Structure 1
Amino acid sequence: MSATAVLLLVLLLVVLACRAAHAVCRRLGQPPVLGEILVGILLGPSLFGALAPGTHASLFGPELLTAVDGLSQIGLVLFMFTVGLEFPIARLRSTARVGLAVSGAGMVVPLALGFAFALWAGPRLGLFPAGVDPAIGALFIGLLLSITAFPVMARMIADHGHVRTRFGSVSLTAGALDDAAAWVLLAAVLAAFGTGGDASALIALAGLAVLAGALVLVHRAARHWFARRDPGRDAVLVAAALALLAAAGFTELIGVHAVFGAFALGAAVPRGAAADVLAERIRPLTAVLFLPLFFVHSGMNTDLGLMTGAGLAAGAAALVVLAFIGKLGACTAAARAAGESWADAARIGCYMNARGLMQLVALDIGLRAGLIDQAAYAMIVVVAVATTFFTAPGLALVDRLARRRAGREPERRPETAGAAP
């Protein structure tokens, strides 16, 4: 059988398996990305490779995995572009005060907890490859704990009908701010880890500054172009494709992952009909084929067998606990301190705690850069699955507790208009 035939059959298998996983996840109230990650884990060395190593090796050989990896990276760039297109810039103003408080707590607390744990456990558990500064590796682990899966969170908020609620708006604002801050910090970590030392970091930072200036010009030029005349759907798509290749290629060239350029370009596109057309054209095939490939590939890179040792298993459990404390706990407390009710604050914390998608994107970038090894990769995948899985039942638990508390509260007597003070 030719390599092309094997690749097409594997793609068929992946798409069918992901669609079946999506149906199961919908029945359980879980986001589709969770099913895609689990499909990858089942097809990878953790299960299929352990049960049938010979068949697994012949079906998922190095050449095929390289081809799947290339397709998944293209899908990842397209997806991050659509995330930038849908980045809720206008929403940031209305809930900025509470959103900033929640976002700040949701970044600083888990980052500090993850950094402290990884700095202590990294050398003991061998989480970082040789040559990686433990402080840089620990900062990367802390960053992974501080990330919120904004696209997954936005999808769950829409699915639960919470888009127009106060806590839904605050969650979207805080999640958007978290993602933006996380990408900036991740770019700084990658620049600091650059193989070229200080020169590499300076090139990366200077390149990002150049990109920011260029995108300001792109935004103004595009707004002027759209205002003068209707450029047409095909013209918009061609212009976006050229700009996307340039932005993603530029960030990859300066030593920062291509997704940074894709996301930044999407955020720079003026909101309106053109952005809607681009999202409408790009999203369907990306969501059905390319993006599931990325998450399946991530799952196939996860070998849970590497965590058979008591130390690594305990380390993964500790990271899950720290992830919940740092995100769910800190965001809930920050929202409550900012004036939200306990129920709404807890709902905000549940939404902010979901990490599945964006955490895996950053995790994949770190693995490719050589910041972590396969054991640490598997540990973070466990964190992503656990925190994302908890969101739906966590929200249901908060709703039950809120209804129970409301039922216990005594009915308040209405005040009359002429009552004495």
Structure 2
Amino acid sequence: MSQSGTLILIMTIAVLAPLLAYGAGRWLPVPLVIFEILLGIAVGPDALGWARPGEVVDALSQLGLSMLIFLAGYEIEFDKIRGDTLKRSVRAWLISLAVGLALACALSGWSYTKGVYIGTALTSTALGTVLPVLRDAGDLHSRFGSVLLAIGAVGEFGPIIAMALLLSGRSPAQSAAVLGVFAVITAGAVCWAMRPRPPWFARIIAKTLHSSGQFAVRLVVLLLALMLGASQALGVDVLLGAFAAGMIVRLVLHGAAPDSAHEVVAKVEAMGFGFLVPIFFVVTGIEFDLKALLDGGRALVLLPVFLALFLLVRGVPVYALAPRDLGVRDRRALTLFASTALPLVVAITTIGVADGVLPTDEAAALVGAAMVSVLVFPLIGLKLRAADGEPALPQGPRQGAETW
């Protein structure tokens, strides 16, 4: 199939996936990303063989990955996750990283590079996936929700930092120095973002918001491009640049134009979740090594192993260091929510396969385990909360299912 035909097929899947998610939501809250990946697998070379990515589709997919991480950075509200809860979240993640790297290196035959890819993927938390589930259950603004927000934020930010530090190909000292330079650049951008803006800045945002000018949207894209450019120039993973751009944009919009911020972000989300991000997830499905799983070899054995490792590596430290004001059932539910992973797992395995370090069968097993975690862990977590007298399971179709 030609590149234009493949792109048309991908966008057809992007339209079909929300309809399937809406229909399934009447009985079971299935994240939209699951349908995008599964339909991508169905049309890929290991199934129907209708789609094969090329240069154009691959370029759009990489833009989708950058937009995905950018929106993840924008989602995190650091002002709401301070104090003891944040400290516990950071300590739990650092333990997860140490355990994850050790187990992943052992599982990889003591291959350091492959171990880093797998180990960092095991420490991630799909914050953008679990937040809509909590929102629908009326639990997002509870004490449990605030703790999960802190844990999820660290579970998104931490793996990106670890990837930039451990996979740069430099010595630890050089990597730290380069990250320090990037941190200085980011801090400078943050200081600029927090400076008071003249009144005309907010006025031009509001005035062009519904015109062809779209000043705010263009500014957001420029900031994203600048941070991606800075990360590439320094040899830092572009995921870090995209994530930092998301945080900077939040500061700029909420500081300079708080009345227009939500509408501006809605437009950026429409561009991301309406076009670029679905391409990334569908292409992930198309490139998924389904044959390796169906052959019943190592990949099929690794899938349940990775699923168990998500709980062991990410969940157990969270359970051990959860705030003591949470009950046993809440801590168990927190363990399950924290162990839910997918978007960053897909991003990390995509980079690992592209670099020729991670075999496609192992990447397929890791992504498959992450997909199972998204389908199973949040539902069990909600049932634990409901059994403890907390908000019940959400009814009807999920709202906000477009998030990751």
TM-score in same-fold range (> 0.5): yes
Three-state SS of the structure 2 residue aligned to 1:302 is coil
Q: Is the 8 A contact 2:179 2:236 kept in 1?
A: no
Aligned to 1:386: 372
Q: Aligned partners of 1:25, 1:350: CA distance in 2, in Å?
A: 22
* Greater mean deviation of Cα atoms: 158-167 or 337-346: 337-346
Aligned to 1:127: none
Aligned to 1:418: none
Kindly report which structure 2 residues correspond to 1:195-210, keeping only aligned pairs within 5 A, or say none. 201=175, 204-205=178-179, 207-210=181-184
Aligned to 1:216: 190
CA deviations 1:240-278 (Å, max 9, x no partner) are 222221211221333333332122122123223454243
The letter of the residue matching 2:40 is G
Three-state SS of the structure 1 residue aligned to 2:167 is helix
Shift of 1:203: 7.7
Q: Aligned partners of 2:106, 2:166: CA distance in 1, in Å?
A: 19
2:288 is aligned, of 294, 302, 305, to 302
CA deviations 1:301-351 (Å, max 9, x no partner) are 21132243544432332221121222233323322x633111222222222
Q: Aligned partners of 1:284, 1:169: CA distance in 2, in Å?
A: 27
Kindly report which structure 2 residues correspond to 1:292-371, keeping only aligned pairs within 5 A, or say none. 292-307=278-293, 308=295, 310-335=297-322, 338-371=324-357
CA deviations 1:170-194 (Å, max 9, x no partner) are 1011111222222211111221x36
TM-score normalised over the length of structure 1 = 0.79
Q: Is the 8 A contact 1:101 1:338 kept in 2?
A: no
Q: Is the 8 A contact 1:257 1:365 kept in 2?
A: no
Three-state SS of the structure 1 residue aligned to 2:76 is coil
Q: Which runs of 5+ in 2 are unaligned?
A: 391-404
- Asked if 1:79 is matched to 2:68, the reply is yes
- Asked if 1:255 is matched to 2:235, the reply is yes
Q: Which structure is higher in helix share? A: 1
Q: Is the 8 A contact 1:36 1:295 kept in 2?
A: yes
TM-score normalised over the length of structure 2 = 0.82
Aligned to 2:42: 42
Q: Aligned partners of 2:336, 2:177: CA distance in 1, in Å?
A: 39
- Asked if 1:266 is matched to 2:265, the reply is no
Q: Aligned partners of 1:210, 1:371: CA distance in 2, in Å?
A: 31
Three-state SS of the structure 2 residue aligned to 1:90 is helix
Q: Is the 8 A contact 2:40 2:285 kept in 1?
A: yes
Aligned to 1:276: 262
Q: Aligned partners of 1:343, 1:227: CA distance in 2, in Å?
A: 52
**Aligned residues: percent identity?**
22
Kindly report which structure 2 residues correspond to 1:12-411, keeping only aligned pairs within 5 A, or say none. 12-27=11-26, 28-48=28-48, 56=49, 59-61=50-52, 64-93=53-82, 96-105=83-92, 107-123=93-109, 134-191=111-168, 193=169, 201=175, 204-205=178-179, 207-221=181-195, 223-225=196-198, 229-232=202-205, 233=209, 234-269=214-249, 270=251, 271=254, 272-273=258-259, 275-307=261-293, 308=295, 310-335=297-322, 338-399=324-385, 401-402=387-388
Three-state SS of the structure 2 residue aligned to 1:237 is helix
CA deviations 1:139-191 (Å, max 9, x no partner) are 32111100011211222221222112110111011111222222211111221
The letter of the residue matching 1:116 is A
Shift of 1:200: 7.8
Shift of 1:377: 0.8
The letter of the residue matching 2:383 is L
Q: Aligned partners of 1:227, 1:399: CA distance in 2, in Å?
A: 48
CA deviations 1:195-216 (Å, max 9, x no partner) are xx78984784355234324323
Cα gap change, 1:227 to 1:154, in 2 (>3 Å): farther
Shift of 1:45: 3.8
Q: Aligned partners of 1:275, 1:400: CA distance in 2, in Å?
A: 35
Q: Aligned partners of 1:71, 1:226: CA distance in 2, in Å?
A: 37
Aligned to 2:402: none
Cα gap change, 1:261 to 1:103, in 2 (>3 Å): same
The letter of the residue matching 1:120 is A
Aligned to 1:128: none
Shift of 1:91: 0.9
Aligned to 1:126: none
Q: Is the 8 A contact 2:231 2:238 kept in 1?
A: yes
Shift of 1:35: 2.0
Q: Aligned partners of 2:72, 2:260: CA distance in 1, in Å?
A: 15
Q: Aligned partners of 1:171, 1:143: CA distance in 2, in Å?
A: 19
The letter of the residue matching 1:44 is G
Q: Which has the larger radius of gyration?
A: 1
Q: Aligned partners of 2:15, 2:219: CA distance in 1, in Å?
A: 33
Shift of 1:226: 6.1
Shift of 1:60: 2.1
Q: Aligned partners of 2:311, 2:215: CA distance in 1, in Å?
A: 46
